Chains A and B, each alone.
Chain A
């Protein structure tokens, strides 16, 4: 498989109270079109990744809404898979290109969350969980706390190792002008932050964010670009909706499966990956992701991350150079598309101060629910 990424664009991520969803969408799309040297008339179809517009904003029919915003009546679709909506939109767009139905496709991930209060948002996000979990009054931090507890029990994972994930991702975000939190935090700040769902504290959790990201993909080689980036694998796997259906609580089986399929499709191994954007909705999630993707052995990722093995300028692969969901922000539908945009920027060598030197192969890992959906993409800057 070889799909060219012609252009990428993102908005700033954060609490963007003065910006409407339509404006967010336009900003990301305009940047991607400019980057690709294309006009909107050159686009054959639009895929939108979004989770919460219906439940929070009372607005559905996003395909037509955003096609209207483009001023162009092209085929348009909304794809939903909780926090993996963006990654799933990319996957579906790729399939539409591979099938030959469309030549150039625009994918936009978008979410507007900060118009609503945290309790409403926590409840809305749980729409991506199991009905039994909603009845139990568990939140997403709670579900990941259950996974963290199981990891701590089996592998003696330390709370200071969980904190190291957030510290690293804030360090990376300090170099990202689009990140929600462009500042560093200390391990003590993590330990002293209030508990949300023990063992997870406030600074173990990704924030509530607004933001959008756009990419344009094609089956045609873009000769205008000096250093093209290609998507060489796109895979999706699912698992039980709730945690009660899982065999193992220290790993997300869907992520393991999607990762294996993606490595096979691209013909690479985990050791070939230079840079990865993984779904660190909570600190424990990045530890599990690094194990599920084979970057480190089972039960080994926490100590390797704490030693700086995934930190910019220190080890390999560099994980979450954008700052990840934790510090770049997590507008849920946007995340999976933003991950692709970040890896493309890295593989072009255009990431500025957060550039991973010599990065040639990148990976994205986007999770929906507490591991019910996993989407893995592999990107390469081929000669």
Chain B
């Protein structure tokens, strides 16, 4: 089960990222996803350097093929992370959106 305590604990950290902007450093297009991520596949996972120089790895959403290049500008958004299980909470977290 996805632990509600764990999801709750991560919320403060997640909030500190929201709205930040950055650029793609590298990326991969995931065709064979892990369990719980089947609905979004295929999806890009990008390594981004934010404007405060911090780097993060997250999924790209609302994308087209034209967005998949090194240097593409992105913004941190709040999205559902994965398919929830039947009894647990719905886990939300960080994803990135091309700007």
Contact = CB atoms under 8 A, between A and B. Distances in A.
Interface of A: 118-120, 122-123, 126, 130, 132-139, 141-143, 145-150, 153, 194-198, 200, 242-245, 249
A47 B33 CA distance: 34
A145 B35 contact: no
A141 B41 CA distance: 14
Contacts of A197: 28-32
A198 B42 CA distance: 10
B57 A133 contact: yes
A136 B57 contact: yes
Given A119-B34, A243-B47, A137 B27 contact: no
B26 interface: yes
Which 4 A-B pairs give the minimum distances between C-beta atoms? A145-B28, A137-B37, A244-B55, A198-B29
Judged by DSSP, the binding face of B is strand
In this complex, the interface size class of chain B, counting residues with CB under 8 Å from chain A, is: 20 to 34
Contacts of A133: 57
Contacts of B26: 146-147, 149-150, 153, 249
* A118, A123, A198, most chain B CB atoms within 10 A: A198
B25 A137 contact: no
A138 B27 contact: no
A119 B35 contact: yes
Interface in B34-84: 34-37, 40, 43, 45, 47, 55-59, 70, 81-82
B93 interface: yes
A195 B55 contact: no
A249 B29 contact: no
B9 to A, nearest CB: 11
A382 to B, nearest CB: 44
Contact of A122 (B34, B59, B93): B34
Nearest to B32: A196
Given A137-B45, A137-B82, A139-B34, A132 B28 contact: no
Given A119-B35, A123-B35, A153-B70, A139 B30 contact: yes
A132 B58 contact: yes
A358 to B, nearest CB: 41
Contacts of B55: 244-245
27 contacts: A119-B34, A119-B35, A120-B35, A122-B32, A122-B34, A132-B58, A133-B57, A135-B82, A135-B91, A136-B45, A136-B59, A137-B37, A137-B40, A137-B82, A139-B30, A142-B45, A145-B29, A146-B27, A146-B28, A150-B25, A150-B26, A153-B70, A194-B31, A197-B28, A243-B57, A244-B47, A249-B47
B93 A195 contact: no
